[in-house]
């Protein structure tokens, strides 16, 4: 794939003919590698936003199925806006990073308040939990508008093509290339931003499958800390217990029960029980973040 092997300085782009050749090859490979994913069959900005949030730090195989189920339960942004936090968290279970669910819920409420779905980058970024990449994804896939969608698979293609030997390549060097190659708003539909980024995503996934992952040479690459035994895992278990208490009709989760549950959870995995104070610390933390509320001596989802 790589045809432009020199590493361009941050303030200098490859020649126009090199960029044009790169674009032709990406579209060609993208057609060959195209993945017919369910969220690609819609231009509904709400449905696209849900897919973009679900796909953050989560494999496509885990999202396929869960996105469809979510859209069945919350088919419109107004339905999600009217849901309770507990209903949202319950549907999100198994996708990880529960904060994303609450942020998506808050974004839906803000969109409902506005009475319209933002199209411009500034309006999208103003929504809870929406950053530049997510905003660019919504703009491209829902509205076919140009932008810098620097997602991990997109990053893989540009690193492989333009920085084949470089290490610790920062996004500052990639952004001008992504910006220069993204088709304009008036491009034909088959060569527009939506099709362009689908092609980049599918080519990037293939490169990561058949080669040493190019994104490991990115300055943004970070090795994620293990989930097993982590504070994140303990928080997730308490969220699960809070939702379970709600589903079986209990008034909430008592601190004593949460402490015992967390101790049993850790022992079942061959670890010692955590300090008794940890359950309360985590529950207070979760209540401050909107995962639950305190009702007397109980924590309620």
- Could you report the per-residue pLDDT of 51-109, keeping only the tens digit for each? 999 999 899 999 999 999 999 999 999 999 999 999 999 999 999 999 999 999 999 99
The segments of the chain whose pLDDT lies below 70 read 1-11, 223-224
Same domain? For 23 and 158 the reply is: yes
Q: Is residue 90 domain-resident?
A: yes
| Shared-domain flag, residues 243 and 294 | yes
Question: Does one domain contain both 27 and 161?
Answer: yes
Please give the pLDDT value at position 11: 60
**Do 104 and 79 touch, CB atoms closer than 8 A?**
no
How large is the greatest C-alpha to C-alpha distance in the chain, in angstroms?
68
CATH number at residue 272: 1.10.10
Shared domain for 139 and 150, answered yes or no, is no
Q: Is 256 a catalytic residue?
A: no
12, 17, 29, 52: the active-site residue = 52
> How many domains, in total, are found in the chain?
3
Q: Report how far residue 301's alpha carbon sits from residue 244's, in angstroms, rounded to the nearest whole number.
A: 9
- Last residue of one domain, picked from the residues 194, 217, 240: 217
Answer yes or no: do 184 and 238 share one domain.
no
- Model pLDDT, residue 1: 47
Residue 69 lies in a domain: yes
Q: Which two tokens stand for residue 91?
A: 């549907």
120-133: burial string, b at 16+ Cβ within 10 Å, e else: ebeebeebebbeeb
pTM recorded for the entire structure:
0.89
| Residue-number span of the structural domain to which 200 is assigned | 16-36+146-217
Q: Considering the domain boundaries, does residue 1 fall inside one?
A: no
Last residue within a domain, chosen from 186, 217, 248: 217
Tell me: do 126 and 68 sit in the same domain.
yes
We report the CATH number of the domain holding residue 75 as: 1.10.340.30
Q: What integer pLDDT is reported at residue 140 of this predicted model?
A: 98
Q: Is 223 inside a domain boundary?
A: no
């Amino acid at each position: 794939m790589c045809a432009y092997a020199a590493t361009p300085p941050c303030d200098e782009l490859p020649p126009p003919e090199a960029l044009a050749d790169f674009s032709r090859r990406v579209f060609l490979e993208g057609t060959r590698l195209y993945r017919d994913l369910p969220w690609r069959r819609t231009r509904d900005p709400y449905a696209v936003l849900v897919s973009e949030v679900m796909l953050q730090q989560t494999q496509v195989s885990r999202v396929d199925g869960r996105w469809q189920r979510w859209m069945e339960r919350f088919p419109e942004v107004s339905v999600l806006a009217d849901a309770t936090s507990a209903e949202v968290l319950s549907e999100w279970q198994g996708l990880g990073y529960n904060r994303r669910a609450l942020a998506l819920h808050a974004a839906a409420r803000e969109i409902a308040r506005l009475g319209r779905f933002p199209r411009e980058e500034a309006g999208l970024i103003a929504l809870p939990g929406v950053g530049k990449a997510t905003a660019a994804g919504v703009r491209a896939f829902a509205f076919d508008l140009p932008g810098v969608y620097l997602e991990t698979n997109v990053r893989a293609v540009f690193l492989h093509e333009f920085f084949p030997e470089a290490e610790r390549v920062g996004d500052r060097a990639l952004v001008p290339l992504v910006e220069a190659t993204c088709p304009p708003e008036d491009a034909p539909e088959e060569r527009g931003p939506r099709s362009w980024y689908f092609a980049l995503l599918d080519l990037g996934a293939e490169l990561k499958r058949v080669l040493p992952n190019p994104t490991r040479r990115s300055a943004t690459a970070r090795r994620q800390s293990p989930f097993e035994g982590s504070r994140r895992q303990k928080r997730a278990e308490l969220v699960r217990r809070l939702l379970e208490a709600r589903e079986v009709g209990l008034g909430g989760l008592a601190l004593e029960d949460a402490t015992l549950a967390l101790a049993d959870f850790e022992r079942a995995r061959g670890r010692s029980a955590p300090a008794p104070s940890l359950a309360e610390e985590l529950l207070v933390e979760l209540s401050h973040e909107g995962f639950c509320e305190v009702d007397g001596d109980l924590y309620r989802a």
